Amino acid sequence: MSSPHAAPPPRLLDMLRQHIRLLHYSIRTEEAYVHWVRAFIRYHGLRHPSDLAGPDIQAFLTWLANERDVAPGTHRQALSALLFLYQKVLRQPVPWIEEIGHPRSQRRLPVVLSMAEVQQLLAALDAVPLQRQQVPYGLVGRLLYGTGMRLLEGLRLRVKDIDFDRRAVIVREAKGFKDRVVMLPAALEAPLREQLERSHAVWKADRAAGADGVHLPQALARKYPRAAESWTWHWVFPHSQLADDPRSGAHRRHHLREVNFQRAFKAALQEAGIHKPASPHTLRHSFATHLLQSGYDIRTVQELLGHTDVSTTMIYTHVLRLGGGAVRSPLDSLGPVPPAAGMAAGFAAAPAATPPAEAARYPAGHPPATVRPAREPAPEERLPCPPPVPADLATRYRPTPSFTAAATSAS
């Protein structure tokens, strides 16, 4: 007989979070898996997943693909969340996994900005006011483009990760929990030192107010109890306000949020007049493409980007083979296109602009004379005049209709 004061059994989503943290998945994976499991339960009228099976999962995924029109990557993420729920949390066999259709992966070419567009974008980011964040968005953009870091990798930088003597930046716990070293651009040394001064003022204010220290990975907070309050572990780009930790609930200082820079990036993109579907991750794509254009080998770019497989980095070589540096079109061998080509009937081509020097030499309304007159052909070069055409030629030779050509055009 159970005790009346026994603790209630844990809820399903709480069990899901516990198993995700047991396997040391990231907080982003936890949020995504919880989202899809909750959507799956709501789709089936709040029924418990233990009462559902393969056909119910197939119906949910079909609804996502047909009604919601999600991307293949989103489709795979939802399927992975449900497989984790049934295999790790509910401990149920999944014999129906082979019957569920898996979306085909699609590798698309990344959006890449030219160097001129990057310069215009960074100038527009410099014009974004600091407001309360006290973080220059232009510096964040230059750091992402100059090192090839992802947005979250750049915002998570700590004071100890910047080595000015070696001109290196250490990226900690990147994608796949891997560390790597990237170069520190010489142009960012002075701006980064100024940003560290602003961050140090925030750190001093937190220490004076007795706020909790910053978040430390894994069990370092227990191993080094005062490390979270030290200047070494403080953020390079701190947030302007304190917030609650999503896991521990502690009220502490976090780094600048991704959405803050994403909004500033979108506004700067419009201000610069760049009509491309770019995002902060586009700066990473541009970094890799411009390095390959400069002659750096693919292995060096792979290490800087932190790719496990070189085939992931090879996608930037496809970008290089496009555009003006690729195969020359045969149309360019035919010469320039006439000005009136492609214009609608009834519209005359615009007159060519007269150079300023020619406009000053000749008055308005009087075109310049031909510099080299046409040469009169020699008598032996003159062709004889053709004989006159008979008047009844059109009635004597009428063209025979071609049924093959008519059938081809009709098809």
Active site annotation includes 307? yes
- pLDDT of 388 reads 54
Q: Tell whether 211 is covered by a domain.
A: yes
Run of H or E residues at 169: strand 168-171
Element containing residue 170 per DSSP (H, E): strand 168-171
CATH number of the structural domain spanning residue 49: 1.10.150.130
59 and 206 assigned to the same domain: no
Out of 41-55, 67-81, 236-250, pick the least confident: 236-250
Residue 88: active-site member = no
User: Is residue 290 located within the same domain as residue 208?
Assistant: yes
H-helix or E-strand containing 183? strand 180-183
CA-to-CA distance for 272 and 125, rounded, in angstroms? Answer: 9
Residue 151 lies in a domain: yes
Q: What CATH number is associated with residue 161? A: 1.10.443.10
Number of neighbours of residue 342 by Cβ within 10 angstroms: 7
Residue 279 structural domain: 107-322
* pLDDT value at residue 353: 52
Same domain, residue pair 133 and 272: yes
Asked if residue 401 belongs to a domain, the reply is no
Does the annotation mark 281 as catalytic? yes
Average pLDDT across the chain, whole number: 81
Residue 398, pLDDT score: 45
25 is catalytic: no
Catalytic, 284? Answer yes
pLDDT at residue 77 is higher than 90 = yes
Strands of the 168-171 sheet, one edge to the other: 162-163, 168-171, 180-183
Catalytic residue among 156, 284, 285, 290: 284
The 10s digit of each residue's pLDDT in 198-246 is 999 999 999 999 988 899 887 788 888 889 999 999 999 999 889 888 7
Instruction: Kindly state whether residue 161 falls inside one of the protein's structural domains.
Output: yes
- 18-32, 239-253, 306-320, 372-386 — most confident range: 18-32
SS3 of 135, please? coil
Looking at 150, 158, 285, 290, which residue is catalytic? 150
Same domain, 138 and 210: yes
Residues 94 and 127 in one domain: no
Give the pLDDT mean for 33-50.
95
Q: Which residue has the higher pLDDT, 358 or 64?
A: 64
Residues 195 and 269 in one domain: yes
Q: How many domains does the chain have?
A: 2
Catalytic residue among 160, 175, 207, 257: 175
Q: Which of 131-135, 148-152, 176-180, 318-322 bottoms out in mean pLDDT, i.e. has the lowest?
A: 131-135
**The pLDDT value given to residue 299:** 92
Residue 177 to residues 25, 117, 204, 224: CA-CA distances in angstroms?
9, 32, 30, 21
- Between 121-130, 147-156, 338-347, 350-359, the lowest mean confidence (pLDDT) is in 350-359
pLDDT category of residue 403 using cuts at 50, 70 and 90: very low
Per-residue confidence band for 98, with pLDDT thresholds at 50, 70 and 90? confident
